[in-house]
Structure 1
Amino acid sequence: MRMHNADETCGIAQAALVLGDWWNVLVLREVARGHVRFDALAAEIGLSRKVLTERLGGLVAQGVLRRSLYQRRPVRYEYLLTDAGIALVPLLVAMQDWGDRWVLGDGSVTATAAQDGAEYARVHALAGTRLPDGLELPGTQGADVPVVAPDAAATVLFTYPGAGVDWGEPIPGAAGCTLENRLFRDAWPDFRGAGVDVRGVSTQLPYEQEKFARTEKVPYELLSDAQHRLAAALRLPAFRGAGRLRHKRLILVIDAERTVRHTLFPVVDIPHAVTESLRLAIDCARTRR
């Protein structure tokens, strides 16, 4: 691609060269979702083997993907994000937010969703899908923590916009994060008694999560998705509020095999959603036994 001389010092133009076109963006989207092998990528995107080979080769050459050998006979590779590729993940989530708001939505900022909208359909389509292996996020102590508790019969994973945030102008659906955490805290003995773990996730930084957890005596893990790895992996709905991209409130009930069994979204009645997630998680745990 020939560029105007002025583009040589333009970061936007240089990034556009790396992203290239529609197919490159979709390849990166799928790798971020955990589809890292050639056949899985081809199936998810619908690309011919020839075109996909070209796109993967270009992204490797640009330094955003790297090949990792997982089979010798015949030779097979996985395509993994490099540090440069991981740095593109927030851009992918920002693109999704823009598309949800301005193309699929009416342009308004909201932390909830309509039941006939794309975000609703995308979240509820997660039921029956398996979370990518090795998906971890920073916990309140800074160390990475598995998104799904490895020793639990089921995990309730809930995302929330942010606790203790000054939203300025009211954003529909954004308020209630402290209440939600308190309700999960109070129900914690019932969850643990059933062999169910709980994970709370927001895009707040680990030190912000730690301060909140300490103040509110939160007994379960609070994880930071500030780098948007979970949002990209599951294509979770987001909105921009109080200076950053934030998760919309939803709840996933995940079994011990990392498969999403139930989705609650949008969460409008927070007390009911916490109670319902406990009921669904207990049923999920009993099924395992």
Structure 2
Amino acid sequence: MRMHNADETCGIAQAALVLGDWWNVLVLREVARGHVRFDALAAELGLSRKVLTERLGRLVAQGVLRRSLYQRRPVRYEYLLTDAGTALLPLLVAMQDWGDRWVLGDGTLTATAEADGAEHTRVHALPGTRLPDGLVPPDAAATVLFTYPGTGTDWGDPAIPGAAGCTLEHRLFRDAWPEFHRAGVGLYGISTQLPQEQAEFARTEELPYPLLSDAGHGIAAALRLPTFRGAGRLRHKRLILVADAERTVRHTLFPVTDLPHAVAESLRLALSLPRPAG
């Protein structure tokens, strides 16, 4: 690609050189989703082997992906994000957020979703998807993951529809925790708030379950979770995922508007899953 001299010191232009074209972006999207082997990438993207080989080679040369040998005969590699590639995840999520709002949506800023919208379709297509490592306790019979926009946040005036209620949601899950615990159901809350922000809230509210920070947007990118921009950062829209002991999503609740019902329903769905043998 030929560049104007002024582009040599332009970070946007240099990033555009690395990303190249839309296939490079989609390759990174799929690697972030856990499709790290050549055949899986080819199947997800519908790319010819020649074109995919070219794109992967370019991204490796640019330092965004690295190859990791997983089979010697014949030689096979996995393509994993480097630190530079991981640093692109917030950009991918921001692109998704922009597309959801301005291309697939009507431009409205909202923390919820319409039943016939793209975000609703993506979330309700998650059953059958394996969760990233670290999101399911190793001894849990089932796991409930709930994403929330953020605690202790001023959403402005007028408030962003669907954003408020995070503290109430946590208190409802806290009160229901004994039932989750007795049933062997793991429970995690996830937001893009920083770990120290979450830790302070957990201490104040005496939460018995862990909070996970997705400040780097790795979880959002891996699952293509819906987001919105509020109070200065990208935030998760409120949803609930119910996964089995094998880290596979079995049920989704989205959008979440009735908090007491959603907490009770998430436990009911977790209890309905088959128990692990033994």
Name the TM-score class by shorter chain.
over 0.9
In 1, Cα distance between the equivalents of 2:57 and 2:110?
39
Q: 1:279 aligns with which of 264, 268, 275?
A: 268
Matched with 1:221 is 210
Q: Which residue of 2 aligns with 1:27?
A: 27
SS of corresponding position for 2:193: coil
Q: Which residue of 1 is the match for residue 229 of structure 2?
A: 240
Q: Which residue of 1 aligns with 2:256?
A: 267
8 Å contact kept, 1:194–1:285: no
Question: Structure 1: any 5+ residue segments left out of the alignment?
Answer: 135-145
- Give distance in 1, aligned partners of 2:29 and 2:273: 30
Deviating 4+ runs (over 3 angstroms): 285-289
RMSD between aligned residues: 1.0
Partner of 1:173: 162
Q: Distance in 2 between matches of 1:151 and 1:205?
A: 27
- Give unmatched runs, 5+ long, in structure 2: none
CA distance in 1, matches of 2:224, 2:119: 9
Q: Give CA deviations for 1:256-276 in whole Å, capped at 9, x if unaligned.
A: 001101000000101100010
Deviations 1:79-99 (A, max 9, x none): 000000000000000000000
Report the equivalent of 2:109: 109
Shift of 1:108: 1.0
What's the counterpart of residue 163 of structure 1?
A: 151
Write the distance in 1 (CA, Å) between the matches of 2:251 and 2:162: 21
Distance 1:249 1:283, change over 3 A: same
What is the aligned partner in structure 1 of residue 58 from structure 2?
A: 58
2:51 counterpart SS class: helix
The amino acid that maps onto 1:238 is T
1:75 Cα deviation (Å)? 0.2
Q: Give the aligned partner of residue 90 of structure 1.
A: 90
> Would the aligned equivalents of 1:195 and 1:285 in 2 still touch at CA under 8 Å?
no
Q: TM-score, normalised on structure 1?
A: 0.94
Q: Does 1:74 align with 2:88?
A: no
Question: Aligned pairs, how many?
Answer: 277
The structural deviation recorded for 1:286 is 4.2
- Residue 129 of structure 1: CA displacement? 1.6
Is the CA contact 2:245–2:276 (under 8 Å) kept in the aligned structure 1? no
Q: SS of the counterpart of 1:67?
A: strand
